[in-house]
Every structure is written in C-alpha cells, then in structure tokens.
Chains A and B, each alone.
Chain A
Amino acid sequence: MTTLTAKWRGGLVYAGVVVVVACCLAPFYWMLVSSLRRTGDIFDTTPLPSPLSFENYRAVFDPAQGFGRALLNSLVVAGITTVLALLLATFTAYAMARLEFRFKRLILTLIIATSMFPVVSIVVPLLKLFTDIGWINTYQSMIVPSMSFALPLAVWNLTTFFRQMPDELEHAAMVDGCTRGQAFRKVIVPLAAPGIFTTAIITFIAAWNEFLIALSMTNKPGMQTATVAISKFTGATTYETPFGSQMAAGVLVTVPLVVMVLLFQRRIVAGLTAGAAK
C-alpha cells in the first residue's frame, strides 16, 4: 500500500466522520436557527438567521403560555422519579452484584424485562384508577408510572457498575472490622459515586423525556410537563402552528440535556454500553 492511498483512506474516514456528525447535528441546528428567526421570516431557508431575533424566546416566556410552570413540573417529576429510583436501585443492584442468593438471575431478568414493558399497558389501567381516586393532575400520578421504566433502568446500570468494582475492596474493609453495612456505606458507595451519578443522569434524561404518561395523566395546563406543554402551544390563531416558539421551547428543554451530554459523554457512553458490550 502506498502512502498516497493511505492518505486518501484517512481523508475518506474523516469525511465519513464529518458526514455522520453533520447528519446527527443538522436537525438540532435547524431547530436552533429557526428559533432565532423573527416570526415573519420563519419560513426562510438561509443557514443563518438574519436578522437575529429573540422574539420567539420572549413568546415562550409569555405568562399566557405557562411554560415556566411546565418546566418546573418537568423538573419536579423527573427529579423525584430519579431520586426514588436511585434510592431503591442502589440497594438492589448491590445485592445483585455482590450477594449470592436463590433466584438471583430470575429476579434480575424479571426486573430488566419490566423495562421493555409497553408503557401504555400500564397507563390505561392506572388512568382509570387515578381517575377514581382523584389523582389526575397531580405529581404522583406521573411519578408512580414513571417508576416502571426508571427503576429497571437504574437497577440494570448500577448492577453493571457494582460488578466492575473489585470484590477485594469490600473484603479488606470487612477484614479491618467493618460490618457489611459499613463496608457498603463507607467503601462501596463512595467508590461507586461516578456510576451512581451516571445512572442518575441517564435516569433523569429518560424521565425528563417522558411524554405518554404526562399526556394521559394531566388535562390542566398548569400541571403539564414541558414536553406536553410544548406540543400544545397555541399560536396567534388556531390555524397557525407557532413553529417559532415551539422551536425556541424545544431548544430550552433540550439544551440542559445536551450540556450534560457534552460534559459527561464518556461516562454516559460507558453507562449505556455497559450492559451490551463485554
């Protein structure tokens, strides 16, 4: 192989990389660009907004849209779901990774299987139940069904993280006189902190992105989460879809996640791929 063809090959690989990244980012970029146009030029197809305008962002935070409240609702629902799921999952994952007991594989398989469960199969009966007990338009009506996917996700991720930690650490602590509980609290949890943190991010993103549950369990605009609120944005007239403000709100909902992804991409990828590749 001559150096020339090798160089060509290298060039092709990088051209391929550019294409891949461009395909991934282009739609997101388009959302950003469209959100920065004036309502009048929303149908422009220039790659840069000219003139730049924050009109759409002002429209999003118009009190009539109630978007601030929707963001708060999303934060509360996704936050509480994440905390509860992690709390339960940390103990369970520890047992799965470190203890020997009967039916372990069966239990872990069952827990993971629930994460593949169609959410709508849970939402339909719960919608009826929550209607009967007056839980519609409450936070708990969204948090409880969200546990059905958040908890298995957290258990699976954490189990993988705990398994990667050497047994010896814990044994050393126990030889030095710690009980198993102390070893868990003082040795395992601090060392697993990065894993717990990554799991928290992945769980939070999953809960934050949830749509079906929030859509079904709320009918009052004040209790809608951000994803539902944006899909119901109204324009100046009924027939006009407010694309500009939808894009601006979309950017606002996505940017925190994108920032998290940029900061912690290595960890998130490790967490996402942990189960599959080994």
Chain B
Amino acid sequence: MTELPAETGVRARPRRPAARGRATAGAGRLAALLVSPTLLVLAVVVLYPTLMALKESLYGAKGLDPSTGFISATEPFVGLRNYADIFGEAGARFFNAFWNTTFFTVVTVSLETVVGVAMALIMHRAFRGRALVRAGILVPWAVPTAISGLLWRWIFNSDGVANALLGQQILWTTEGFHAKVAVIVAEVWKTAPFIGLLVLAGLQVIPKEVYEAARMDGARPVRQFWHITLPLVKPALLVAVLFRCMDALRMFDLPYILVGAQKHSVETLSMLAQNEASNVRFGPASAYAVILFLYVFLIALAFVRLLGTDLVGGGDGRRPRRTEVTA
C-alpha cells in the first residue's frame, strides 16, 4: 500500500466522539444514507421471507380438506397443526432429521477444531514454503461443496479408492452409519483447513517473548500449549467455531449429493424442509424452516451469552478489538 508522508503541521481535528450521543447530526444523516440500501435489501431478502415463512407455517396444503370434505382452491388456515404434526404424525422423520443435524454439527465441528488446530500448529512451525502450504490448504475451501460431494461419492464408491485403500467392501453411500461417516469425512476435509487458517492467523500474533519466558521457567511444550497457545488463540478459535456451527446446522449440499435425498441416515433439517417445499407442501416446509431458524438462533444466542464472544469488534473502529472471553 502507498505510504503517505506523515502530516506534521496541519492535523485534522481528532474525530472521535467516543460517546454515541455526541455523534454529529451530519454524520448520522450520511450514515443513514449509506447504510439504508443494505438494510433495505436485507429486509427484502431475509426479513420478509422469514415473516412469510412464519405465516405460511400456519396454513395447510391446497386440495381436499379432510374435516369438511370440500376442495379448497386456496390454502386453508390450519393454525398450529403443522407444528403439531411435526411433533406427532410426522414426528419420527423430524426427530431423526433433528438428531442427524445435531450429531453432524457436534461431531464435525469437534473434529474440525482438533484437526484444524493441529494443522495450524504444524504450519506455524514451518518457515519455508509457507505461501505454498497456505495455497495448498485453501484448495479444499475453494472446491464447491456440491463438487466435493460428488468427489467423495466417487471416492466412497463401492469399487472406489477408499475401499481399495482400506481393503474393505463397504457400501458407504447406502443407508447406515457408514453413510454418516462418509459425510463427516468429506465435511472435515473441506472445513478443517479453514479453521487451521484462522488459528494460524491467531498464532502469528502471539509474541515470541511469551514462549521464551515460559521456556525459561521450565514449561514443557505440552504445558506451553495448554497454558499459553490455547488461551491466546481462543478468541479467534471461538469465532471460527461459532461460524462453523452455524454452517453445520444448515448442512444441505454434502449429504444431499454424497448420499441422496430422503435418506434416513443423513437427512438434515435443511434437507427435510427443502424436500417438503419441492413437493409443494409449503405449510410443513415452512414449519420446518421456522424450527431450524429458531434452533440456529438459540445456539448462536447461547454461544454469545456463554462465551461472551464479540463478533463485531471495536464499535468505534479505533479501540483495540474486544474479542476476549468473559466467562
């Protein structure tokens, strides 16, 4: 970036009204002008559909009304019946999808975190060829999830290379626990490097002196890791884990392509909602979508509350970013 000569004589008025109240009216107007288009678009593409889903989830499907025997041309209002069905009639499928979503989230995010941290520690030690390594581990991140689904379906084919390497004859992409394993392996491959990169960035800002002091005091590497490295990369790691959790909770592409739609072993809430919607059953689909939304929202809230992670960073742009953990 261009380096500008330091301005010594004339210095602009230090613009930093720390208190919100002192924000000037002019800045406020300008900000409103600059921010409102984004808010407007997000209101149209996120808020409005969400409200629509809420409303839609209270309506049934067109067609024969079982209680009156009439054919309705419009969608009948059914109140909370869609939700009641989810926990009653359609309960088995919903609870299975809910369990799969939770299971995938917990397992993949834990594995990714462990693998990602290990990757970062190794990469942090290597000094030569770091650029090459970084480019290499960015490749899984760049591969579209849909393509990685196909790729792993090929690897996990019954006559594929995974079985050849393992000397097994496992039908990975059929129903069963092994299908879950296939999805988990593919997901961890794609996302662990991403966590690795975030943690590596966190590692690089830890001053070397801290480690030297620890060595002087006779701390062994394992102790250094638990007492210095981990606490110091924790803020970066927590943000990464939060984002990964949110992403894993809405998992769709990978199980859909790797194993298939309507497969009991891998069906997630996103797949369930999409499947209902594509069968023009918008009422139940919206109910599933609302439940998934609430689930994601609650987990995010729990994260932020329990761990006190501050995603946004310093509000006034100049204060050092507060990402420390207060719990």
Q: Which residues of A line the B interface, CB within 8 A?
A: 13-14, 16-17, 20-21, 23-25, 27-28, 30-31, 34, 43, 45, 88-89, 91-92, 94-102, 104-105, 107-114, 116-129, 144-145, 147-148, 151-152, 155, 160, 163, 167-169, 171-172, 174-175, 180, 191, 194, 205, 208-209, 211-212, 215-216, 227-228, 230-231, 241, 243, 246-247, 250, 253-254, 257-258, 260-262, 265-266, 268-269, 272-273, 275-278
Contact = CB atoms under 8 A, between A and B. Distances in A.
Contacts of B28: 101-102
B292 A112 contact: no
B146 interface: yes
Contacts of B7: 168, 172
Contacts of A277: 198, 201-202, 204-205, 235-236
A275 B164 CA distance: 42
Interface in B118-149: 119, 122-123, 125-126, 129, 131-149
A20 B137 contact: yes
A224 B34 CA distance: 34
Contacts of A260: 142
B213 interface: no
Given A114-B42, A114-B46, A168-B7, A17 B123 contact: yes
A155 B38 contact: yes
A175 B313 contact: no
Contacts of B293: 117-118, 121
A102 B38 contact: no
B175 to A, nearest CB: 17
Contact of B23 (A102, A126, A212): A102
B137 A247 contact: no
Interface size range on B against A: 35 or more
B73 interface: no
Interface of B is mostly: helix
Contacts of B300: 113, 116
A108 B13 CA distance: 26
Contact of A211 (B123, B144, B202): B144
A227 B146 CA distance: 6
Interface stretch (B77-85, B87-95, B269-277): B269-277
B86 to A, nearest CB: 14
Interface string B150-167: 111111010111001000
A27 B270 contact: no
B107 interface: no
B299 to A, nearest CB: 10
Given A216-B278, A269-B201, A124 B285 contact: yes
B176 interface: no
Nearest to B144: A209
A102 B23 CA distance: 7
Interface of A is mostly: helix
B131 A20 contact: no
B4 A169 contact: yes
8 contacts: A17-B122, A24-B137, A28-B151, A91-B38, A99-B30, A118-B270, A211-B252, A254-B147
B277 A123 contact: yes
A153 B32 CA distance: 20
Contact of A172 (B12, B42, B152, B196): B12
B243 interface: yes
B71 interface: no
A209 B277 CA distance: 22
Contacts of B222: none
B239 interface: yes
Contacts of A241: 153
A36 to B, nearest CB: 14
Contacts of B205: 277-278
Given A20-B119, A269-B201, A91 B37 contact: yes
A111 B125 CA distance: 37
A118 B257 contact: no
Nearest to B38: A92
A117 to B, nearest CB: 6
Contacts of B159: 43
B109 interface: no
Contact of A109 (B269, B312, B316): B312
B154 A88 contact: no
Contact of B286 (A14, A100, A125): A125
Contacts of B253: 211-212
A129 B27 contact: no
Given A17-B122, A125-B52, A211-B144, A120 B252 contact: yes
B171 interface: no
B31 to A, nearest CB: 4
B228 to A, nearest CB: 16
B311 interface: yes
Contact of B45 (A31, A144, A171): A144
Contact of B152 (A27, A105, A122): A27
Contact of A258 (B119, B129, B139): B139
A95 B311 contact: no
B146 A28 contact: no
Interface in B191-216: 193-194, 196-198, 200-202, 204-205
Contacts of A169: 4
